[in-house]
């Protein structure tokens, strides 16, 4: 029983005064979720940073589902991700491309990496004061807190000049891996009573190498492990101007507020389980599914569980969503999930995890089929379906899955923030139609 019975009563009574029937959205031509009737996004900007292709238009302008393609500055990510092209520092190379619009030469990439490496160290006392003394029970909230605190260490924090934004953004990117890893270490030390492990970042390491070396008690990792993490960071680096956390960044920064505030807002958006937070939900959901039916389950058993999830009857999954599936743009496939599936298969063999990888494959196919049957639209596995599986193979704890998304997407948020400042720069301020009644004021004594 709610102790605050009055509040519950007010809330119940308020339904008589505040309801907005769903059909009114159509009546007034409101694009719920900024979506058109066919679920495609309403155009809210122009960008040259990334293109997310999930459907085409036929000659009548009708939407036609297709395999997904993602371009960073016009280059298909599958080209950039090819193993034969791999020379390390893929995430840094893609960051350069996203920020500056062209592929760097070897010298330019080295110089760019130096800028990042020079920013790796945290300000004096930052670790002790903000992370070790103030452990956070949710790492995404802790990252927001840390970002807002970095404001205090900046001698000119409210300067939103484009070049200064670039410098500040790169500084944030350099520091985020240590902040996220230390926030995790602090959390498990204080809440789970584990030993505190603090390794400093190495300036001769890439972002991916540093994350692995700071996270592991012995700091050791193999080149293959670093390559997979580098690839994962690369795959999450940007997703166009319409994705929720990036649009959030544009909305917030269009007020000309400081960069730390805009980035903290994006982290809040990415935390949501319908967005980046889905990677943690997928991992929990799959663990529960495997606990319930085992990896040797038949297809019928898997489909039965998927129906239970959809009907909100499966333990721990009470919102009817099969996490890791569905996308606002992609229909038949998300190219990032395709790439991840491929590399996860290779690493799973090495780590002796082929059985569980095969279970993920079977669940994926059956979930896509069932979702199509139940919802009538194509819903592919998305970037969050395999990422947790990959992180798990790298020994990365679940708490860090969404923070790793932040580390990676920071460059996308920064690139769009800068692009908006340079070429649009109008405060984002759409409209909402008032659909309530007009009422006479009744003096308090007469109500």
Ligand X SMILES: O=C([O-])CC(=O)C(=O)O
Q: Which is nearer to ligand X, 52 or 306 (CB)?
A: 52
Residue 391 beta carbon to ligand ACO: minimum distance, rounded to whole angstroms: 14
Pick from 410, 408, 416, 428: nearest CA to 162: 416
Q: Which is nearer to ligand ACO, 36 or 110 (CB)?
A: 36
Pick from 366, 362, 384: nearest CA to 310: 366
Rounded to whole angstroms, the Cα distance separating 142 from 187 reads 10
Site string for ligand X, 228-257 (x = CB under 6 A): -----------x---x--------------
Q: Which is nearer to ligand ACO, 211 or 285 (CB)?
A: 285
Return the one option of ligand ACO, ligand X, none that residue 278 interacts with (CB less than 5 to 8 A, by type). Answer: ligand ACO
C-beta separation of 274 from 319 below 8 A:
no
C-beta separation of 181 from 215 below 8 A:
yes
Rounded to whole angstroms, the Cα distance separating 399 from 446 reads 55
Site size toward ligand ACO (CB under 6 A) is 21
Is 319 a catalytic site residue? no
Rounded to whole angstroms, the Cα distance separating 401 from 382 reads 15
Which of the following is catalytic: 327, 334, 399, 420?
327
The helix/strand/coil state of 202 is: coil
Q: Which is nearer to ligand ACO, 130 or 246 (CB)?
A: 246
Site string for ligand ACO, 316-345 (x = CB under 6 A): ----xxxxxxxxx-----------------
Say how many C-beta atoms besides its own lie within 10 A of residue 51's C-beta: 15
Strand order in the sheet with 50-57: 50-57, 63-72, 75-76
Tokens representing 306 are 């998927």
Closest-by-Cβ residue to ligand ACO is 326
Binds ligand ACO by CB under 6 A, chosen from 275, 341, 416, 420: 275
Pick from 423, 411, 426, 425: nearest CA to 100: 411
Instruction: Give the helix/strand (H/E) hosting 399.
Output: none
Binds ligand ACO by CB under 6 A, chosen from 77, 211, 278, 286: 278
Site string for ligand ACO, 64-103 (x = CB under 6 A): ----------------------------------------
Q: Residue 109, interface with ligand X (CB under 6 A)?
A: no
Q: Residue 383, interface with ligand X (CB under 6 A)?
A: yes
Rounded to whole angstroms, the Cα distance separating 196 from 233 reads 26
Return the one option of ligand X, ligand ACO, none that residue 321 interacts with (CB less than 5 to 8 A, by type). Answer: ligand ACO
* Ranges within 47-66 binding ligand X (CB under 6 A): 52
Which of the following is catalytic: 154, 230, 384, 399?
384
Pick from 361, 366, 272: nearest CA to 319: 272
Is 327 a catalytic site residue? yes
* Ranges within 320-379 binding ligand X (CB under 6 A): 328-329
The helix/strand/coil state of 69 is: strand
Q: Which is nearer to ligand X, 175 or 236 (CB)?
A: 236
Q: Which residues are catalytic?
A: 327, 384
Question: Where on the chain is the footprint of ligand X (CB under 6 A)?
Answer: 52, 239, 243, 328-329, 382-383
């Amino acid at each position: 029983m709610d102790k605050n019975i009055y509040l519950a009563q007010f809330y119940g009574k308020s339904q008589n005064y505040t309801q907005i029937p769903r059909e009114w959205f159509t009546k007034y031509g409101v694009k719920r979720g900024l979506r058109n009737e066919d679920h495609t996004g309403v155009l809210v900007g122009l960008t040259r940073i990334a293109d997310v292709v999930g459907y085409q238009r036929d000659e009548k302008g009708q939407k036609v589902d297709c395999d997904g393609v993602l371009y960073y500055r016009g280059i298909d990510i599958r080209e950039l991700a090819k193993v034969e092209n791999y020379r390390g520092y893929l995430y840094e190379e893609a960051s350069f491309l996203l920020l500056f619009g062209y592929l760097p030469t070897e010298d330019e990439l080295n110089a760019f990496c130096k800028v990042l490496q020079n920013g790796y160290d945290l300000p004096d006392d930052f670790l002790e004061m903000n992370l070790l003394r103030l452990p956070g029970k949710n790492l995404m909230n802790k990252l927001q807190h840390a970002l807002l605190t970095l404001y205090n260490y900046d001698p000119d924090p409210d300067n939103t000049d484009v070049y200064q934004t670039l410098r500040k953004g790169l500084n944030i990117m350099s520091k985020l891996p240590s902040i996220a890893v230390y926030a995790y270490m602090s959390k498990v030390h204080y809440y789970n009573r584990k030993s505190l492990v603090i390794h400093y970042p190495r300036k001769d390491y890439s972002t991916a190498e540093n994350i692995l070396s700071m996270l592991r008690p012995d700091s050791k990792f193999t080149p293959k492990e670093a390559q997979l993490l580098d690839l994962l960071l690369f795959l999450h680096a940007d997703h166009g101007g319409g994705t929720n956390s990036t649009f959030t960044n544009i909305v917030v920064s269009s007020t000309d507020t400081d960069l730390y505030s805009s980035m903290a807002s994006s982290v809040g958006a990415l935390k949501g389980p319908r967005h980046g937070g889905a990677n943690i939900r997928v991992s929990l959901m799959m663990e529960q599914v495997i606990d319930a039916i085992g990896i040797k389950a038949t297809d019928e058993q898997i489909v039965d569980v998927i129906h239970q999830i959809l009907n909100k009857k499966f333990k721990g999954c009470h919102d009817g969503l099969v996490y890791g599936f569905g996308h606002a743009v992609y229909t038949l496939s998300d190219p990032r999930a395709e790439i991840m599936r491929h590399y996860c298969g290779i690493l799973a063999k090495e780590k002796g995890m082929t059985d569980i990888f095969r279970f993920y494959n079977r669940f994926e196919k059956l979930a896509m089929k069932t979702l199509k049957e139940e919802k009538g639209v194509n819903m592919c596995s998305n970037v969050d379906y395999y990422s947790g599986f990959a992180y798990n193979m790298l020994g990365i704890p679940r708490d860090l899955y969404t923070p790793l998304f932040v580390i990676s997407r920071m460059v996308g948020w920064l690139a769009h923030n800068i692009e908006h400042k340079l070429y649009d720069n109008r405060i984002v301020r759409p409209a909402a139609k008032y659909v309530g009644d007009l009422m006479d004021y009744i003096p308090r004594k007469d109500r």
